Amino acid sequence: MIKRWMALGMAAILSVGLLAGCGNQGQETEAEAPSTQTGQMSEEKDSVVIAMGPTSEPEAGFDPAYGWGAGEHVHEPLIQSTLTVTNTDLTIGYDLATDYSVSEDGLTWTVKIRDDAYFTDGEALTAADVAFTYNTVKASSSVNDFTMLDHAEAVDDTTVVFHMTRAFAIWPYTMAIVGIVPEHAYDSATYGSDPIGSGRYILKQWDRGQQVILEANPDYYGEAPKMKRVTILFMEEDAAFLAAQAGQVDVAYTSATYSAQTVEGYGLAAYASVDNRGFNLPAVSAGTNEDATSVGNDFTSDVRVRRAINIGVDRQEMIDHVLNGYGTPAYSVCDGLPWYNEAAEVTYDPEEAAALLEEAGWIMGEDGIREKDGVKAELNLLYSNGDSVRQALTADFANQMAELGIACTMEGVGWDTAYDRALSDPLLWGWGAHTPMELYNIYHTIEGTGSAQYSPYSNETVDSYMDQALASSDLEESYALWQQAQWDGTTGITQDGDIPWVWLVNIDHLYWVRDGLNVAEQKIHPHGHGWSLVNNVDQWSWE
């Protein structure tokens, strides 16, 4: 089949690319070469060396106020403690917190914290530090939205109260990613490179552009880490592969590009993710907004066309031919998470897809392209420049659409223009987070605009369910409302509803792992290939 060979060809000839999202490598400074004597380390049974991509290096350092742990690619901050944690099933557990409650109106959260946590400079961690951290993050963070928080207040040493501007039932998920910093020792100019925390690890050394060395915190209040020393090397994927071949690392990130290779003494580990890829399908007719930006698409504005596209794409073929089998079909932005609605799942059905297109008036022409009123069925598919995996997925999608009679062109774009371009053309996005807020960010109508943020679409009923979910006083009960926002039996964002996005694949996160290293059970990974792997590195062990 044409589409199979095109996808295979793309995967073979494109340059190696990371599966992770966008980011910039930190500025390099002169430093000694990274430590690579891992054979000796491994024999000690309490250290590990891990190769991550250059974009995993935190540009602003290890400061939660500037994205550490809570940026585009969410992970546990390791150096700092958090109030809550997410369990392997993505339910909420406790770290510093011992209990929390929320008022009936959802505007006041009261959190009790443990009294035996100390910063690595010997000072006790109190509720005042928690309040200071959240007030600082609210004022300083450029990577997260804290508009729902009015202010945090320390009532006593072990009680902090969060005063909210609006009800926000999923606040415990925010508490799971914000690392607590010491009020007495925080300087925004220096903290990122010399952090003081109360978490499982201490930052021992950071050579920008090369490596980070973490050492176990001997005064940590929880179970002592099994891995006493964790070295993170930042390198490109081809270099990480060579480092594994040379036995210089214990774990090395990789992608489907290298998945057919073998490395003596290592196995290829594949970790499930919600690191999804999907196209937005503009759901309104073509026009312009007040800024004269093109908005809408006459072809995808017909829900029958969007439904045809959703069931007319063979997701498993994409996984087999672009990802070498390392992925799962995606049907939503939150597959497998507690708030996921299985009603999103569809079966590949090209015959029904063709029937929907016919019903919508798009008739197959002699040239294999459908037409309606003299207009060709065409899509201009956008993908981010420099991302070979997204380019290959886009090519496969284009080939599959051609079989339905939809002619597609492909265009690589930079993120400086992609957001505006996506208002009128489908763009291949990457999403996936450990919070239902992602559903809200993608599908909820922005007040005063009449449309969702990333692609023109609006549904008052969907908005209402999400608003109710956020206003709920019970986190677990709110999951049902998030599910109803996806499909309530009558309307929603799934196949039988508005289907304003078509989700394609969840990409497995792949790593070469040295034989004898036991990587602890992983949570489903979010978007971004890197630090999420080491959320529980303290629990790893050697045989």
Q: What is the 3-state secondary structure (H, E, C) of 134-164?
A: HHHHHHHCCCCCCCCEEEEEEEECCEEEEEE
Percentage with pLDDT > 90 across the chain: 87
Q: Are residues 306 and 264 in the same domain?
A: no
Q: Are residues 286 and 415 in the same domain?
A: yes
For residue 73, what pLDDT is reported? 64
Residue 6 has pLDDT above 80, yes or no: no
Looking at the domain assignment, is residue 463 inside a domain?
Answer: no
Q: Are residues 282 and 319 in the same domain?
A: yes
Looking at the domain assignment, is residue 355 inside a domain?
Answer: yes
Q: Are residues 343 and 301 in the same domain?
A: yes
Q: Are residues 87 and 131 in the same domain?
A: yes
Strand partners, 109: 102, 162
For residue 482, what pLDDT is reported? 99
Nearest to 255 by CA among 266, 272, 268: 268
Q: Burial code of 469-492, b = ≥16 C-beta within 10 A, e = fewer?
A: bbbbeebeebbebbbbbbbbeebb
Task: Encode pLDDT of 275-304 as tens digits.
Answer: 999 999 999 999 999 889 999 999 999 999
Q: What is the CATH number of the domain that holds 185?
A: 3.40.190.10
For residue 71, what pLDDT is reported? 63
Reported residue count of the chain is 543
Looking at the domain assignment, is residue 530 inside a domain?
Answer: yes
CB 223: neighbour CB atoms within 10 A? 9
Distance CA 304, CA 283 (A): 11
| Least confident interval from 30-44, 79-93, 200-214 | 30-44
Q: At what angle do helices 388-403 and 2-13 cross, to 10 degrees?
A: 170
Strand partners, 52: 234
- The pLDDT confidence band at residue 530, using thresholds 50, 70 and 90, is confident
Distance CA 232, CA 9 (A): 33
- The pLDDT confidence band at residue 2, using thresholds 50, 70 and 90, is very low
Coil, helix or strand at residue 233: strand
- The pLDDT confidence band at residue 10, using thresholds 50, 70 and 90, is very low
| Least confident interval from 53-57, 296-300, 512-516 | 53-57
Residue 263 has pLDDT above 60, yes or no: yes
Residue 7 has pLDDT above 50, yes or no: no
Rounded to the nearest angstrom, the gap between the alpha carbon of residue 469 and the centroid of all alpha carbons in its chain is: 21
Burial status of residue 409 (CB atoms within 10 A of its CB: 0-12, 13-18, 19 or more): exposed
Q: Are residues 82 and 158 in the same domain?
A: yes
Residues 72, 537, 169: CA angle, nearest 5 degrees = 45
For residue 145, what pLDDT is reported? 84
Q: Are residues 85 and 109 in the same domain?
A: yes
Given a contact cutoff of 8 angstroms between Cβ atoms, the answer to whether 492 and 343 are in contact is yes
Residue 35 has pLDDT above 50, yes or no: no
Q: Are residues 306 and 336 in the same domain?
A: yes
Q: How far apart are the first and last CA of the chain?
A: 47
Q: Are residues 299 and 370 in the same domain?
A: yes
Distance CA 353, CA 350 (A): 5
Q: What is the mean pLDDT of residues 358-378?
A: 98
Coil, helix or strand at residue 234: strand
Q: What is the mean pLDDT of residues 220-244?
A: 98
For residue 130, what pLDDT is reported? 99
Q: What is the mean pLDDT of residues 185-213?
A: 98
Distance CA 456, CA 450 (A): 9
Q: What is the mean pLDDT of residues 226-232?
A: 98
Q: Across all residues in the chain, what is the average pLDDT?
A: 92
Nearest to 398 by CA among 409, 382, 387, 388: 409
Looking at the domain assignment, is residue 447 inside a domain?
Answer: no
Q: What is the CATH number of the domain that holds 411?
A: 3.10.105.10
Task: Encode pLDDT of 444-469 as tens digits.
Answer: 999 999 999 999 999 999 999 999 99
- The pLDDT confidence band at residue 142, using thresholds 50, 70 and 90, is low
| pTM recorded for the entire structure | 0.89
Domain of residue 533: give its range. 37-57+208-272+511-543
Q: Are residues 180 and 297 in the same domain?
A: no
Coil, helix or strand at residue 99: strand
Question: Cα dist. 161→17, 132, 133, 169, 319 in Å?
Answer: 44, 12, 13, 15, 47
Distance CA 102, CA 348 (A): 44
Task: Encode pLDDT of 401-446 as tens digits.
Answer: 999 999 999 999 999 999 999 999 999 999 999 999 999 999 999 9
For residue 70, what pLDDT is reported? 74
Q: What is the mean pLDDT of residues 64-93?
A: 90
Q: Are residues 102 and 225 in the same domain?
A: no
Looking at the domain assignment, is residue 98 inside a domain?
Answer: yes
Residue 154 has pLDDT above 60, yes or no: yes
- How many domains does the chain fold into? 3
- Better-scored residue on pLDDT, 407 or 32: 407
Q: Are residues 119 and 51 in the same domain?
A: no
- The pLDDT confidence band at residue 157, using thresholds 50, 70 and 90, is very high
For residue 27, what pLDDT is reported? 34
Looking at the domain assignment, is residue 439 inside a domain?
Answer: no
Distance CA 499, CA 302 (A): 10
Q: At what angle do helices 315-322 and 2-13 cross, to 10 degrees?
A: 40
Looking at the domain assignment, is residue 365 inside a domain?
Answer: yes
Tokens linked to 510: 């792949």
Tokens linked to 23: 């980011």
Residues 80, 31, 62: CA angle, nearest 5 degrees = 15
